[in-house]
Structure 1
Amino acid sequence: MTRPVLCLKDARLTLGHNAGRTEILKGIDIDVARGETLGLTGPSGSGKSSLLMLMGGLDQATGGSVQALGQDLGAMGEDELARFRRDHMGVVFQSFHLIATMTALENVATPLELSGAKDAFERAEAELEAVGLAHRLHHYPSQMSGGEQQRVALARAAAPRPEILLADEPTGNLDGATGAAIMDLLFGLRDRHGSTLILVTHAPELAKRCDRVLRIQDGRLV
């Protein structure tokens, strides 16, 4: 059998110390196949975003194991995790996290430059064109709408051609029509790059587009 792209075994996340400790995730077991689109749903505060953070190595599990592409994320230091995400993952958040002093083109090209890509600006321009922003290459975030800023964030996540795309409520700050357009673009980027997509969402219509949906409640899969 093909090795899973993501493999979590009894993954746990506890925050705080001593009497103030809070169990966020309580023994999660998940295998995600290459090319699969997995939806994570559940009420607010259930642990969906925390689980996505574990999958991306943005938080470290306090119990169990988290493997991505056969690598144990728990055995990596911060610098190694950052390099692993840079080389293999794209992450899109509800908030756009663009650098205000950089143009759209620079926001997308800079991570590619840092990874040593010699064609960083050419690839950045191609990704911005793919999300319909060829006319916004030299605009700053403050000169763009929320939907346009999220398109820049999508292009930045997709530009490294990641094997794994992680999206945490990427339409949460957008109106319905703009959010639907962003999701069409996200699924299009997944298809274009053959990425495995993990999507945290409250929206049933988005969950229906996933190959598989897992519901989380009180830190457990239900």
Structure 2
Amino acid sequence: MTDPILSLQDVTLSLDGNAGRVDILHGVSLDVQKGETLGMIGPSGSGKSSLLMLMGGLEQVTTGTITALDQDLTAMNEDALARFRRDHMGVVFQSFHLIPTMTALENVATPLELAGHKDAFERAEAELEAVGLGHRGDHYPAQLSGGEQQRVALARASAPRPHILLADEPTGNLDETNGAAIMDLLFDLRDRHGATLILVTHSHALAARCDRTIRLRDGRIAVDADQRAAE
């Protein structure tokens, strides 16, 4: 077996809050293979989103190590992590996180411009076409529906051709029809760009489409089953 594209070894996360120190993740170890689609499920408060944020270097581990593409994320400072995400990762959030003063096209082109791509707007236009929004490129987020905003967020995350695509409840704020469309787009983007897809979801339908699912409970991995074998 080849080396995993992402590896977590004995990862813990504790945060200080008003009520004192809160232990969120406890000794999580996990390997994700290149091209794999991994779904993370579990009840609210189980640590799913926190684990995803650690994978993306958006939160620092308390103890343990995270390696992505043979690079130790836990040894990087914030600037190095930002560059790593820019070059290798795409992140999709439940609440879209689009820049309200930029058009859909500008939102998608921005990470490409930051990475120095001279064809940023051409690639952004192609990604918007791929998610069915080529005709909405000059619209601002406030002029778009929730489903359309999530499509823009998907296009923005996939435009740099990331090796790893992280999605946190990508259908959580959408109705059933739009949620199903976003699910199809997520897997289409994975197929077109060959990205490794890791997603947090409460949707059993979305989790069932993954190669593998893990269940978190109380900050620990409770189940690590091969979804295809289960089917």
Specify the alignment match of 1:93 in structure 2.
93
Q: CA deviation at 1:181?
A: 0.3
AA aligned to 1:145 is S
For residues 18 and 178 of structure 2, what CA distance do their matches in structure 1 show? Answer: 45
Q: CA deviation at 1:162?
A: 0.2
Matches of residues 58-207 of structure 1 in structure 2 within 5 Å? 58-207=58-207
AA aligned to 1:183 is M
Specify the alignment match of 1:32 in structure 2.
32
1:16 is paired with a residue of what secondary structure?
strand
Specify the alignment match of 2:45 in structure 1.
45
The number of residues matched between the two structures is 222
Q: TM-score w.r.t. structure 1 length?
A: 0.98
1:10 is paired with a residue of what secondary structure?
strand
Q: CA deviation at 1:111?
A: 1.1
Specify the alignment match of 2:14 in structure 1.
14
Residue identity over aligned pairs, in percent, reads 76
- Over aligned residues, Cα RMSD in angstroms? 1.1
AA aligned to 1:157 is A
AA aligned to 1:138 is D
Alignment gaps of 5+ in structure 2: 223-231
Deviations 1:118-174 (A, max 9, x none): 100000000000000011010111111000000000000000000000000001110
Q: CA deviation at 1:2?
A: 1.3
Specify the alignment match of 2:229 in structure 1.
none
Q: CA deviation at 1:203?
A: 1.0
For residues 203 and 76 of structure 1, what CA distance do their matches in structure 2 show? Answer: 33
1:46 is paired with a residue of what secondary structure?
coil
For residues 110 and 203 of structure 2, what CA distance do their matches in structure 1 show? Answer: 32
For residues 90 and 178 of structure 2, what CA distance do their matches in structure 1 show? Answer: 21
For residues 48 and 114 of structure 2, what CA distance do their matches in structure 1 show? Answer: 30
Change (3 A) 1:179 1:18: closer
For residues 64 and 99 of structure 1, what CA distance do their matches in structure 2 show? Answer: 34
